[in-house]
Amino acid sequence: MFTPKYPPQDTAPPSTATAPTTHTPAPVQRTAPVPVQVAPAASNRPTVQLTPGSALALAAGGGAVVLVVGAVLVSMLLAVAITATSVAVCAVVLRSILNAERNR
């Protein structure tokens, strides 16, 4: 059941070895060099220009994102801390119950 299943071996006939052939290179043709095109100085892409109002909105949006991410991370850390505290309290209570049973 756990033994590997191997595919069947190839049944192709062995290839016949041929003698190496000599290769003669083709004659090289000399051509004129291709002219290099110079990139245009002005780009056709639209540029983004920030006005003072849009820069302020961008900064406010970035600050809001930082505050939201920070609040989420702090709340996750607080949840872990509360869970760890409750587990520790449960362990202390169980230990005292078991010690009380053992002393009777």
Which spans in 3-51 are helix H? none
Sign, CA dihedral 89-95-101-104, equals negative
- Domain-by-domain residue ranges, the chain? 78-104
pLDDT bucket at 38, cuts 50 / 70 / 90? low
Per-residue model confidence (pLDDT) at position 74: 98
Q: Tell me the HSE value of 78 on the side-chain side, using a 13 A CA sphere.
A: 6
How many residues would you count in the chain?
A: 104
Average pLDDT, the chain: 84
pLDDT in tens, 46-65: 887 888 899 999 999 999 99
pLDDT at 19 over 90: no
Q: What is the pTM of this model?
A: 0.45
Per-residue model confidence (pLDDT) at position 66: 97
